[in-house]
C-alpha cells in the first residue's frame, strides 16, 4: 500500500481530533511531538497537514546530519519513506546497521532503495553486519559525494566490490573481514583502487583481508598520497614492510598479528617514511624490546621525535616493565 493511501486512512480515523489539535499552540505541539515514538511522529505529520512544516522542522533538527538505521525495524514501510523524504537530503553521516532477522532480504532491499533514493548527499557511511552483500553494493556507487566509507563484516561481497574503487570523492576506506571474497577478486579490487584512487585516497584500513601478500601490498603502495594505513590481522612480513616503505607521505601505520615483522624491517620503514607520527605494532612476535632504543635513536637523528609517535605493544608479560622505563 502506498504511503499516501495509508495517510488518507489515518486522516479519516482521526478527523474528530482535528479541531483539538488545531487549538493547541506551537509550544504544546512541539512538546507532544518530542514525547512520541518516531512512528507516531510520522503519523502526526501525514495526518495533520496544517502542522506539517512544524513537525518537519523538528525532525530535521533532531536528526541534523546523522542517521543510524537501527530503529528502522520499528517503522512501517510508508513511515520510513515519509521520514527519509523529509530528512534524507540533509544526512551527511549515515550508519547502516540492521538487526539480524530471518527472511528480511526483501525488507532490506526496500530500505536500501529508500536510503539511496533520498540520502543522496551522504559524505560518510559506516556499513555493518550480515546484510552487506553484492546487491547492496550496487546502491553505493550512486553516492557521488561519499568521502569516507567503512564496510564491516562484508562476508557476502564478490565482484561488485569493484564499484567502490571508482567513487569520485573517496578519501577514506575501511574494509573488515572480507575473508569470503576470493583472492583474485581482492587483488582485482586493490588494482582498481590503485588505478582510480592513487592520488586521492589518504586513509586505508584493511582488517583480515583475504590472502594478503606482497603482491597485494605492492598495489597498496601505489596509493601515493596515503597518510594512514592499518593492516590488521593480515600476514605481513619483511618484504611487505619494505613495500610499504614506498609510501613516502605515510603518517600513521598500525599493524597487528603479524609474526614475521622484525626490528630491522620496522626501522627500515621509518627511515624511508620520515613523516610517520604514529606507529602501532601489536602481537608481532619477532619484535623485541631492543627496537625501542634503536627507534628513539633514529627519531632523534631525524630530529622528529614526537611524544605521540611511539606506541608499541610487545609481549606485555615479558617487556612491560622495560618499556615503561625506556619510554
Instruction: Please state the three-class secondary structure of the chain as a single string.
Output: CCHHHHHHHHHHHCHHHHHHHHHCCHHHHHHHHHHCCHHHHHHHHHHCHHHHHHHHHHHHHHHCCEEEHHHHHHCCHHHHHHHHHHHHHHCCEEEEECCCCCCCHHHHHHHHHHHHHHCCCCCEEEEECCCCEHHHHHHHCCCCCCCEEEEECCCECCHHHHHHHHCCCCCEEEEECCCCCCHHHHHHHHHHHHHHHCCCCCEEEEECCCCCCHHHHHHHCCCCCCCEEEEECCCCEHHHHHHHCCCCCCCEEEEECCCECCHHHHHHHHHHCCCCCEEEEECCCCCCCHHHHHHHHHHHHHCCCCCCCEEEECCHHHHHHHHHHHC
Closest by Cα among 76, 1, 92, 5 to 42: 76
What are the structural domains of the chain?
A: 64-326 (3.80.10.10)
**Residue recorded with cell 589518504:** 202
Q: How confident is the model at residue 101 (pLDDT cuts 50, 70, 90)?
A: low
Average pLDDT over residues 253-282: 89
Q: State the average pLDDT over residues 202-227.
A: 92
Q: Are 127 and 151 in contact (CB under 8 A)?
A: yes
Identify the band that residue 227 occupies on the pLDDT scale cut at 50, 70 and 90: very high
Residue 228 CB neighbours (<10 A) = 17
Phi, psi for residue 284 in degrees, rounded to 5: -110, 100
Closest to 279 measured CA to CA, from 315, 244, 296, 254: 254
Are the C-beta atoms of 161 and 190 separated by less than 8 Å?
no
- pLDDT at residue 211 in the model: 80
Top mean pLDDT of 4-13, 136-145, 156-165 is at 136-145
More confident residue, 188 or 220: 220
Mean pLDDT of the chain: 80
Q: What percent of the chain has pLDDT over 70?
A: 76
The answer on pLDDT for 155 being more than 80 is: no
Residue 200 has pLDDT above 70, yes or no: yes
Least confident of 85-94, 162-171, 225-234, 295-304: 295-304
CA atoms within 13 A on the CB side of 88: 18
Amino acid at each position: 500500500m502506498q504511503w499516501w493511501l495509508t495517510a488518507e486512512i489515518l486522516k479519516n480515523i482521526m478527523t474528530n481530533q482535528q479541531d483539538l489539535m488545531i487549538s493547541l499552540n506551537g509550544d504544546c505541539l512541539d512538546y507532544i511531538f518530542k514525547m512520541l515514538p518516531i512512528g507516531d511522529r510520522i503519523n502526526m505529520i501525514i495526518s495533520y497537514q496544517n502542522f506539517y512544516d512544524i513537525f518537519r522542522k523538528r525532525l530535521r533538527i533532531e536528526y541534523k546530519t546523522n542517521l543510524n538505521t537501527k530503529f528502522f525495524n520499528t517503522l512501517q514501510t510508508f513511515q520510513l519513506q515519509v521520514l527519509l523524504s523529509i530528512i534524507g537530503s540533509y544526512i551527511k553521516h549515515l550508519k547502516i546497521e540492521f538487526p539480524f532477522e530471518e527472511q528480511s532480504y526483501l525488507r532490506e532491499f526496500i530500505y536500501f532503495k529508500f536510503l539511496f533514493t533520498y540520502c543522496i548527499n551522504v559524505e560518510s557511511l559506516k556499513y555493518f553486519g550480515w546484510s552487506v552483500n553484492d546487491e547492496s553494493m550496487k546502491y553505493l556507487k550512486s553516492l557521488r559525494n561519499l568521502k569516507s566509507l567503512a564496510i564491516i563484516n562484508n562476508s557476502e561481497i564478490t565482484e561488485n566490490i569493484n564499484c567502490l574503487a571508482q567513487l569520485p570523492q573517496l578519501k577514506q576506506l575501511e574494509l573488515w573481514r572480507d575473508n569470503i571474497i576470493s583472492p583474485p577478486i581482492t587483488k582485482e579490487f586493490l588494482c582498481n583502487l590503485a588505478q582510480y584512487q592513487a592520488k586521492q585516497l589518504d586513509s586505508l584500513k584493511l582488517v583480515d583481508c583475504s590472502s594478503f601478500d606482497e603482491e597485494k601490498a605492492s598495489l597498496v603502495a601505489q596509493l601515493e598520497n596515503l597518510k594512514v594505513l592499518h593492516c590488521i590481522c593480515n600476514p605481513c612480513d619483511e618484504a611487505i614492510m619494505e613495500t610499504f616503505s614506498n609510501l613516502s607521505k605515510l603518517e600513521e601505520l598500525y599493524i597487528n598479528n603479524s609474526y614475521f615483522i622484525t626490528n630491522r624491517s620496522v626501522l627500515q620503514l621509518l627511515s624511508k617514511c620520515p613523516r610517520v607520527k604514529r606507529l602501532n605494532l601489536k602481537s608481532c612476535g619477532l619484535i623485541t624490546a631492543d627496537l625501542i632504543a634503536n627507534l628513539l635513536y633514529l627519531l632523534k637523528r631525524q630530529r622528529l621525535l614526537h611524544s605521540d609517535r611511539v606506541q608499541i605493544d610487545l609481549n606485555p608479560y615479558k617487556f612491560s616493565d622495560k618499556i615503561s622505563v625506556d619510554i
